[in-house]
Chain A
Amino acid sequence: MSRFGAAILLVVIHAGCATPAGEASPSPAAIVDPTPLSSPSQIPTTRAEATPAPNVQAGVLSEDGFFVGSWVSDPATPPINAVHTWVLHIETAAGEPVEGATVRLNGDMPAHGHGMPTQPQVTADLGGGDYQVEGMAFQMGGYWIVDVTVAVGDRTDVINFGLEL
């Protein structure tokens, strides 16, 4: 999904569509202010953007505002040209761990028009909102966008992480 397309989708969703009964979901005002959170320390520090700021590794809000994500890499700094593993942590905007989601991940270098040399896959649902992703690989330094699609229940959203390697 292109960054531009995602921005358009965000505007359309919040242009007055009805909220399904019985479901907590972000109000139209969430486009600017996140839903009030149970714990102030869990307030997302970064909004979804078309070009996510590089090297913000935690508190990244998804495009439609449903999820907040963070990642850690093993080794801690993603190496160039070596296959390695990430652990993603995914919570709702309200700060609750998202368990049992279907998670897919891709990486792209917008300036170079190509993606990763591998197809990373979630190989373990570690529980507590943690997902192990193997097969991460970056074949060159520069600015990367890693997009993580999270689908749980009938909700799907995308978290975009920026990296400057």
Chain B
Amino acid sequence: MPAFAPDELETIRSLWIGSLPALPADPSNRVADDPDAAALGEAIFFDRRFSANGQVSCSSCHQPELAFTDGLARGQGIGETPRSTMTVLGSAYSPWLFWDGRKDSLWAQALGPLENADEHGGSRGMYAHRMGEHYRAEYEAVFGPLPDLADEDRFPATAGPVRDPIASANWQAMSPSDRDAITTVYVNLGKAIAAFERGLTPGPSRLDLFVEALLAADESGDAGAAAALTADELAGLRLFIGPVAGCTNCHSGPLLTNQSFHNTGVAPMPGREPDLGRGAGIGLVQADEFNCLSRWSDADPGDCVALRFVRDDAEALAGAFKPPSLRNVAETGPYMHAGQVATLIDVLRHYRAAPQAAAGRSELEPLDLTDVQLAQLEAFLRSLSDLPIDP
């Protein structure tokens, strides 16, 4: 196996799962690291009763066996969503959640689909009742007493600032302090789910076995490295870290994403307006009811560095999206923000062709890569899947 140059070794090491730092603290969530909150969050994550029709749970779209995605172009809850389901694995490391970064914490993200009419279709008043019906003891052990939900005049079965006219009217009719009591339960629900999700991180892949063998740098290390990646996968790795393809410009670090926003000229769905992505997401996160600076956050304003210094140039960020982690990418298709690109080889052809963007300006330049090289890159990408855990 030909040697790597020192700078190539440094890059390869930076992609290694062993380079993943400790889970960052989430000062906005006071129960982020509470195991009881995580247990409650895990139960709710898989509980279909937390939806308007009793059929949608977080796991409906975030399926563990598909790396917490759903194998669809766009998410399907009560209805179809306009964007593709993203993985939850490693999401604790993302300062911004969703393709457009419109949420700045895991708990704020979890609250989005719950009140979205196309996803869970519920309202926070409804979820407070569900909590009381199914998880009262677990909730109260972590968060203290629930409000007295038995009074249906004060706390109707459905109520929230949502699209459904009945729930919306009920919400308007509630007193401000009762609304706060319900929102408190809702926020706690999100924080419990987030505590569970923080523990969802990708596992080692064959790339990581390869890097560990490489770092061993001895006789047995060489044989281990050769066994971990095939010749095509190794060729793909060299291309991935190399200057021609430029993949690590955005797909860098142990999660193979730099967590910021880039325009790669992905075409909108036919017949649809171009998606502005981060261009619109900036305003959404700044205005979000549950952002780091909101009264529902447990953070001091000084902790909210990402939000306080958010780049708010909507024009420059028009059509820009967050690069997902490439770990388990073989399992997370179809690809791009609305699942427009069906297969990995289609993705690679897109990067080679570098088409113009429909919104904003693409950062891509056409790439001088042969079909064989694209196939090698695909082989490398497939080596990023979690290894099966021995039973």
Residues of chain A having any CB pair with chain B under 8 Å = 80-81, 83, 112-121, 134-135, 137, 139-140, 142
The range of chain B's interface size is 20 to 34
A117 and B261 in contact, given A81-B253, A112-B249 (Cβ under 8 angstroms): yes
Q: Are A113 and B361 in contact (CB under 8 A)?
A: yes
A80 and B363 in contact, given A134-B305, A139-B258 (Cβ under 8 angstroms): no
Which 3 A-B residue pairs are closest in the complex by CB-CB distance? A135-B309, A117-B260, A139-B260
Q: Are A119 and B262 in contact (CB under 8 A)?
A: no
Q: Residue among B253, B308, B312 with the most chain A CB within 10 A? A: B308
Interface residues of B in 262-281 (CB under 8 A from A): 262
> B223 interface residue, CB < 8 Å from A?
no
A112 and B363 in contact, given A81-B252, A119-B309 (Cβ under 8 angstroms): yes
Q: Are A119 and B313 in contact (CB under 8 A)?
A: yes
Q: Are A83 and B309 in contact (CB under 8 A)?
A: yes
* Besides the known contacts A112-B363, A117-B261, A134-B309, 11 further A-B residue pairs in the complex with CB atoms under 8 A apart: A81-B253, A113-B361, A114-B316, A115-B313, A115-B316, A117-B259, A119-B309, A119-B311, A119-B312, A140-B248, A140-B252
- Shortest distance from the beta carbon of B164 to any chain A beta carbon, whole Å: 37
**In the assembled complex, which residues on chain A have CB atoms less than 8 Å from the CB atom of B248?**
140
Q: Are A80 and B249 in contact (CB under 8 A)?
A: no
> B226 interface residue, CB < 8 Å from A?
no
> B150 interface residue, CB < 8 Å from A?
no
How far does the alpha carbon of A115 sit from the alpha carbon of B314 in the complex, in Å? 12
How far does the alpha carbon of A87 sit from the alpha carbon of B259 in the complex, in Å? 25
- Shortest distance from the beta carbon of A75 to any chain B beta carbon, whole Å: 14
Q: Are A114 and B363 in contact (CB under 8 A)?
A: yes
Interface residues of B in 303-360 (CB under 8 A from A): 305-306, 308-313, 316
- Shortest distance from the beta carbon of B248 to any chain A beta carbon, whole Å: 8
Closest to B21 in A: A82
A-B residue pairs in contact (CB < 8 Å), sample of 21: A80-B258, A81-B258, A83-B305, A83-B309, A112-B249, A112-B363, A114-B316, A114-B363, A115-B316, A116-B311, A117-B259, A117-B311, A118-B311, A119-B310, A119-B312, A134-B308, A134-B309, A135-B309, A137-B309, A139-B258, A140-B248
